Chain A
Amino acid sequence: MLETIAFSLLNGLLYGMLLFMLSSGLTLIFGMMGVLNFAHASFYMLGAYFAYTVGLVTGFWAALFLAPILVGMIGAAVERFGLRHVHQHGHVPELLFTFGLAYVIDELVSLFWGTVPVPYRMPESLDFTLFTMFGIDYPAFKVFILAVSVVMFVALYILLKKTRAGLIIQGSLSRPDMVSALGHNVPQVFMWVFAIGCALAGLGGVVGGIHLVTEPGMAFLMGPIVFVVVVLGGLGSVPGALIASIVIGVLQTLALSVDFSLAGLFSGIEVSRESFFSTLWYMDSLRLAPVLPFLLLVLTLIFRPRGLMGKREA
């Protein structure tokens, strides 16, 4: 039992940190700027593909920095020439714009790289077993993912809370008129925030593309879950997104690792196998695991609309 719990915690933590890398950018874009960016997971996918292609020339370590910058530049262009014009018409056009953008990016990726997964592998310098626990190896790469996401969190936190730039960003998002009156270029601030958000998603892709499979379906696979993280963590809260990611990661992994069902939890109560509710009663956690994040999303919206650490309601 101890083994199972230790495994689940560790695996859950790793998966959670991967989720955080993906969703921290969306926390900025959706949570702070209020832009419903459906294409966020597509920027994550671009990160993976760029890192693969750039890495062929420069090697992994340079690609780790170059790919997110490239994705960030595309993000800046999207904001400058697309979203900025759409933004003033409200949420619905914005949603449709990013929805379309997601399809366009998907299609372009299939065109350029083909529909078959690309052989994007981890660098040899990280391809070794760091430690072994209860007979299961933990590759150095997984720990590297952990390290990258921690660095990401700290950097983002310091940028927003401790620097002058963070002050201007937060001000531009909540009181654009005031900040503008103080002589700052608010639209440019928006562009930078969007670009940083996209670059963060790209960085998630650089690492996630190795851990998962780099293929054109990867954006669709990750698309919905990032929204769950942002809403659960609370709009605009980076620490909230971190906690929400880890909660989702650990919960999901626990549900997959430990067999339990309502029948098992309340073993005293008997429900007839024929009754309508027996399916739910005897359903084991394995079946439940994939729905758990979305169940959490629904419950959050009902009982705590501002999420774990958010300041305003979703």
Chain B
Amino acid sequence: MPSRNKPGIVAGALLALSFSLTASAQQSEDPVRIAYIEPLSGAFANVGDAGLKHFRFAADMINQDGGVMGRKFEIVPMDNKQSASESTQLLQRAIDEGIPFVTQGNGSNVAGALIQAVDRNNRRNKDNRVLFLNYAAVDPALTNDQCSFYHFRFDASSDIKLEALTNYMADQKDIKKVFLINQDYSHGHVISELAKKMLKEKRSDIEIVGDVLHPIGQVRDFSPYVARIKQSGADSVISGNWGNDLSLLVRAADNAGLDVDFYTYYGGGLGTPAAVGERGEDSLHQITVWHADVNVDDNLSDYETWFTDFKERHPEIDWYYHQIYNQMYMLKAAIEEAGSTDAVPVAKALEGMTFESPTGTITLREKDHQMIQPMYVSVMDSDAKYDADNSGLGFRTLAKIPAEQATVPTTCDMQRP
């Protein structure tokens, strides 16, 4: 439908023109632009929109303190409708506009496509290279077989999360039967495979009583799946589901009176606590790099201010992506160290960088560009200081897993320029 995009193209052309006109005159005042390629419409628009607010907030905070080398960060939102092919087209648009950094995180399939496209561009188009900063796509393949010099992951990969989570679960003696339910794409497949392997190694007495993959973003009624979980006799469920796929699952479980513990990646994810409500109390667990009550538990008063300022600006959502804080400040540090926004020097500065994050010292592992950081296992609780999503419930830390124990080896064999 070319006619639908016409105003967009005209606006884009005008914007590009105005940039090119001012570029020569005000080189130093050009913003440092980051293309944000995420779903801003469709079933996962809520997730994409919340991420955008995070990035804009972090950029504003940095800009208020003088920006990066006297320049300001600017986030350029691009709607990929959660499609991998659309994303690579948007990447091309970002490259054409001379945007040096691209960030994305929802959907490892999308991230995988972006890594390939970024690699291809950087090989062929040496004058206009881009860096891909991944804040949430957690498929381990992205830092193993598919690893790239131009890709950095600030979230913990799903094998690292699962390593930390199964370490915790192994100590819970009342876990006997585990049911796996995941979305049918790379992320869900990885969790299903690794959970079976890791649980077997750590607690051979735990029985895997079910392993189900369901289509992503299409299931409206989870009650048949819940009936399966019930029949399997499971006491715990591991799920990597995110967005509505998780909300609907937990709601259906509660409607059916299913009494199991959910061990999830995204239980505190944007919108999920609001949709789940008090049904999640003491049963919805999550493994994350941070959650709101960590500020209280670990006395992080500065970061607590950051959290409350964000909440003031966006009362409808919470500061959730801790890794975006790390990503933006580490990018700032790397650009300043490199003295430019060119991909290769910035990538070299980021490689192996250590950073004092509110949760402790974190490191971008040089070998595969994977962030090594502390992790938290937490459970939904009405006594938490900070409610997630204004739901009346927050998360209570059950265990903090130090960075050294939240790591797995990599098979990455990186090609460096």
Contact = CB atoms under 8 A, between A and B. Distances in A.
Interface string A112-143: 00111111010000000100100111110110
B271 A215 contact: yes
Given A116-B270, A213-B251, A290-B218, A15 B223 contact: yes
Contact of A213 (B225, B228, B275): B275
Interface string B24-44: 000000000000000001111
A253 interface: yes
B244 to A, nearest CB: 5
Contacts of B46: 115-117, 215-217
Interface string B251-289: 100011110000000000011001101000000000000
B275 A117 contact: yes
A286 B212 CA distance: 8
Given A115-B45, A215-B271, A220-B42, A286 B247 contact: no
Interface residues of B, number: 44
B390 A119 contact: yes
B2 to A, nearest CB: 15
Given A119-B277, A136-B257, A217 B42 contact: yes
Interface stretch (A4-12, A84-92, A305-313): A4-12
A121 B275 CA distance: 9
Contact of B220 (A15, A215, A286, A287): A15
B296 to A, nearest CB: 23
A116 B317 contact: yes
Interface residues of A, number: 42
Contact of B244 (A139, A217, A290): A217
Nearest to B258: A136
Interface in A1-24: 3-4, 7-8, 11, 14-15, 18
Contacts of A14: 221, 223
Contacts of A139: 255
Contact of B257 (A121, A129, A141, A252): A129
A40 B413 CA distance: 52
B221 A222 contact: no
A193 B301 CA distance: 60
B43 A7 contact: no
Contacts of A181: none
A142 B255 CA distance: 9
Nearest to B46: A115
Query: What 8 pairs between A and B have smallest CB-CB spacing?
Result: A137-B257, A256-B224, A217-B43, A115-B46, A115-B49, A114-B316, A7-B227, A11-B223
Given A7-B224, A136-B258, A217-B244, 20 more contacts: A4-B227, A4-B231, A14-B221, A115-B49, A116-B46, A116-B50, A116-B270, A116-B317, A117-B244, A137-B257, A142-B255, A212-B248, A213-B244, A215-B46, A215-B244, A217-B44, A217-B46, A220-B43, A221-B244, A256-B228
16 contacts: A117-B244, A117-B274, A136-B256, A136-B257, A136-B258, A137-B256, A139-B255, A142-B255, A212-B221, A212-B248, A215-B46, A215-B271, A217-B43, A221-B220, A257-B224, A286-B214
Interface of A: 3-4, 7-8, 11, 14-15, 18, 106, 110, 114-119, 121, 129, 132, 135-139, 141-142, 212-213, 215-217, 220-222, 225, 252-253, 256-257, 286-287, 290
